[in-house]
Structure 1
């Protein structure tokens, strides 16, 4: 029995220690086990559930009770390695858009400096199933956050009512993604988020042709 399972078992013996803390200890051990393998340069294709269970000190059934498969587990590993999604104050559309783009800029910087994020994002391109799960669990929620901010801005009259919000969403995030992914040698300098937001908003305000 591994360390995580011994910790879980000990928690289960005392009534006051049952429940969520036990689950968190086991999940942390599993996720940290995957992260150790990735830091060592092990390709995603070589990280099996059996290998994860062995390095985390748990049984395979323990993993499958928490994740339906490797793809879901890898998504949680990525979420752990990345910065959490930002809190939006909701004071103005401009401020919220800058916060969202700044989060994207910081993720771009992290992808360049983190062995885990760089390796996993590169390998996801060859795994359509993993990419689909990651897109649904991580990318789409972030996209919806930006669309919600744009909808609120349109309702409040901060941008014109006749614009295609899906297109504008792409126009806001596109430059940051190009510099983060397509042009990894490009600068992701401080102030870039404000520059992108203010440049795009200049053409979206009411009264502009």
Structure 2
């Protein structure tokens, strides 16, 4: 199913800048989409015209900031999801725990928010929107994880003889199982720490 109201634009993501951006207008647009979603309006029925009317702005104001609804919806998702915590940078273990804790908190937020569950479920029904979310959000988080793992290899905290992508999957996989595949699975406060310690035990260089 395709999303409508998408004008031709030269690049993916935010539209090229014209006038100086108004942070208040941008916030009003995102808040307007959130209100419509909270009212149960499906993504397929969120036209640019309806969003503009709800936000109290003109359609041109939206198109000056986003190339279309895919880019706008990704920013809306960012606004309602838990923010990624800052990495302490004290050790690979501490950084991995911080990353998994962010994933755990997003899982808890999804469980407690019917709107967020609905929107994330709908996003996967729109290939272009899902790909946009993967490219701009998921890929960025994976890049941060890869940087942490590379530092671990350089410092001798992680074995260098393993498939790199597999190492990343081993780190995030258990938390993804709990937050995505097992929606009723326990998300205890110490879960991130227990996962990282269990995985690192198998990733450390052998004597």
Q: TM-score, normalised by structure 2?
A: 0.88
Cα deviation 1:66-89 (Å, max 9, x = unaligned) = 000001000000101012222112
Q: Does 1:199 align with 2:198?
A: yes
For these two proteins, the number of residue pairs brought into alignment is: 189
After TM superposition, what 4+ stretches of structure 1 lie above 6 angstroms from structure 2? none
Shift in Å, 1:27: 0.2
Shift in Å, 1:116: 2.9
Q: List alignment gaps of at least 5 residues for structure 2.
A: 1-18
Q: Distance in 2 between the 1:105 and 1:92 partners?
A: 20
Q: Does 1:52 align with 2:54?
A: no
**Structure with greater Cα Rg:** 1
Give the corresponding residue for 1:63. 62
Cα deviation 1:127-154 (Å, max 9, x = unaligned) = 1111000001110000111110000000
Shift in Å, 1:19: 5.0
SS at match of 1:188: coil
SS at match of 2:153: helix
SS at match of 2:88: coil
Q: Distance in 1 between the 2:117 and 2:52 partners?
A: 24
Shift in Å, 1:52: 0.0
Aligned Cα root-mean-square deviation (Å) = 1.3
Q: TM-score, normalised by structure 1?
A: 0.87
Give the corresponding residue for 1:27. 26
Q: List alignment gaps of at least 5 residues for structure 1.
A: 1-17
Give the corresponding residue for 2:35. 36
Q: Distance in 2 between the 1:156 and 1:117 partners?
A: 39
- 1:47-196 matches, within 5 Å, as 47-196=46-195
Higher helix share: 1
Shift in Å, 1:90: 1.3
Q: Distance in 2 between the 1:59 and 1:73 partners?
A: 15
Q: Which moved more, 1:146-155 or 1:78-87?
A: 78-87
